[in-house]
Amino acid sequence: MKTLKTHRSLALLVLIVGLVAGVLFSQEVRLTKAAAIGAPDATPLTIPDPVQLSNSFSKLAKELEPSVVLVTSTIEQKVVQRHGGQRGGQQGGQDPEDLFRRFFGGDPFGGDNQGQGPQRPFKSQGTGSGFVVDGHGYILTNNHVVENASKIQVKLHDDSTEYTAKVVGTDPELDLAVIKIDAGHKLEPVKVGNSDAIQVGDWAVAIGSPFGLETSVTAGIISAKGRDLGGRGHQLQKFLQTDAAINPGNSGGPLLNIRGEVVGVNTMIATNTGGSDGVGFALPMNLAVGAYNQIIKTGKVSRGAIGILFQPQQKPELLKAYGATSGVFVDQVTPGQPAAKAGLKEGDIVTSFNGKPVTNGNELVARVSETPVGSKVPVTVLRGDKTLNLTIEVADRADIIAGNNGGPAANPDSAEGDEQGQNVKFGLSVRALRGDDRDSMGFQDSGGVLVTDVESDSFGEDIGMQHGDVLMAINRQPVTTPADVKRIAGTLKPGQPVAFKVMRSAGQSQGGGAQWQALFLAGTLPASQ
């Protein structure tokens, strides 16, 4: 009996186990089919709790927002009333750069005032940027943002009040202005950085109000340093170039390094579209600080000058032809100014100023301009084979520049007559100067031959010789006739540096007489001439 019962129990257990296994197998099959529809190896996503991310750019933006301001300038002009009440151009809401173009190029609407009816007042507003540099309300911006403005208003971040600003002083040569507002409370100034420490490739962050959009932040890198924009800027401006987006309205805003220090003042853009093409320029902060410190002390900027002219990019051939390897070659010495009074002459090479060597024109301009007006400084020059030590009293740059403004250029064609001149080497044709030539040209210097033609693609054209120049000397040898030019040219060999002294018409003096400017052109002779 026990055995039978045992067998029955085992059979029942087997049956139960089989049923359970069948159920489990059936469920497994169903699960497998279901899993085949989804992604069995995927992990569900989860949303983390909100936390403050570490980001240098957002940190800079938050720190600088209270210090960056929107500057609105109102400019009053008298414009022509057109027949039929129509006028061209646009009204209001223009960026300062556009205002600068419109209001300093004659009629802002592209016409003249002949037969167009009476003038009537017209107001236009331009927007720019600025940044607080002193908690008492002192703000640095571009001069072109506030220039000629009848009213200047400043708006702070998260403050709807428009504060009226006054101009403390300006520096047109650097395109800087210092303005001040009374906000009734202390403002948050920026941190000033050392722009000399900036390297190409460093991060750069621009903050400003492009198109009136307040506290806009863009980032990029420093693309270049010491960028000289030539005719578009002034002699003292050497810009930081950046690809951080700078647009109209950014003018006057800060350019920051990654530490949040201001290293530049955003000033202009190079563009084919009117917007950012990734080429923006900022005035280095070290230059801006020097101007600012003078403005808050005296209300203006005073810079030194000595009264000489030289070429911004000097060719080494010119220095070699005059016996030097470095220095600044003097093209012209302004009569009556400090350099002339000290005995400096055209053709001299300045090798040292105030005890420090000078290797190029930028160095000389920087050292002279930062020297206090009235200072007497030692200057070393190379003249021929001699080294001379002179003492020059530095004058005010503004006074010297004002005295150099001339009138329209004289026309050298009046002296040419029907004579085309003799063809000489260098791709030049020259002829002798007669007494009546000198009278008609207002050229009273002795010697020289008139350049009547410069051949296209010639050596003369390559070095910058022009029709109407008076050729005075070649490699320091005086020229008085075309034969002199041929004789000297015959002594020169291919590959040899050669320097030409020429006189070029520079307009009229304030007294109405003709002005002629000395220039020194140089190059290396090609294989054939």
Gyration radius of the chain's alpha carbons = 37
| 390 CB-side CA count, 13 A | 26
**122-141 residues labelled b (16+ CB within 10 A) or e (exposed):** bebbbbbbbbbbbeebbbbb
Q: Which two tokens stand for residue 294?
A: 């003078």
Give the Cα separation of 395 and 306 in Å (integer).
Answer: 6
Please report where in the chains the tokens 């080294």 appear, as a residue.
387
Give the Cα separation of 245 and 103 in Å (integer).
Answer: 26
**H or E element at residue 473:** strand 470-474
Q: Which among 528, 463, 529 is positioned nearest to 501, based on CA atoms? A: 463
Written in H, E and C, the secondary structure of 309-337 is: ECCCCCCHHHHHHCCCCCCEECCEECCCC
**H or E element at residue 185:** none
175 included as an active-site residue: yes
Q: What are phi and psi of 463, to 5 degrees?
A: -90, -5
What are the Cα distances from residue 386, in Å, to 90, 164, 193?
Answer: 63, 60, 44
Instruction: State the catalytic residue, choosing from 98, 175, 243, 469.
Output: 175
Q: Which two tokens stand for residue 199?
A: 């390297």
Give the Cα separation of 96 and 516 in Å (integer).
Answer: 37
* Residue 192 CB partners (closer than 8 Å, separation 6+): 133, 261, 262, 285, 289
* Residue 133 CB partners (closer than 8 Å, separation 6+): 139, 140, 189, 190, 192, 292
Q: Which amino acid is at 71?
A: V
Give the Cα separation of 498 and 348 in Å (integer).
Answer: 16
Distance from chain centroid for Cα 136: 30
Instruction: State the catalytic residue, choosing from 144, 216, 429, 484.
Output: 144
Give the Cα separation of 101 and 90 in Å (integer).
Answer: 13
Give the Cα separation of 326 and 314 in Å (integer).
Answer: 10
Instruction: State the catalytic residue, choosing from 251, 369, 429, 505.
Output: 251
For the annotated catalytic residues, the residue numbers are: 144, 175, 251
